[in-house]
Amino acid sequence: MDRPEWDPWYDKAFGFVVRAENEQTARQLAASDAGDEGKDAWLSPQSSTCEILTRHDSLEPEIVISDFYSA
């Protein structure tokens, strides 16, 4: 993704695997753990994408994996 939110590369999150009921909740959880790219990068469909992997109704919403680069 060639977006200004991720330039320069350090102190930023580049991806999340999130367990959530819907895309809005997933984006909010990712935004709550954002780095210097800012919360809007995760809330905006123009800056990030969401893809459904699997669904399990009995589990609590949470961030499962975070891809974060720091300098």
Longest dimension (CA), the chain: 39
Q: How far apart are CA 16 and CA 48, in angstroms?
A: 10
- How high is the pLDDT of residue 55? 65
Band (pLDDT 50/70/90 cuts) for residue 70 is confident
Is the dihedral angle over the CA atoms 8, 43, 51, 21 positive or is it negative? positive
> Which among 59, 63, 56, 69 is positioned nearest to 30, based on CA atoms?
63
Pure H helices in the chain: 23-32, 40-43
| Total domains in the fold of the chain | 1
Q: pLDDT tens digits for 9-37?
A: 899 999 999 888 889 999 999 999 999 99
| 8 upstream amide cis, omega within 30 of 0 | yes
Residue 15 belongs to domain spanning:
4-69
Model confidence, pTM: 0.77
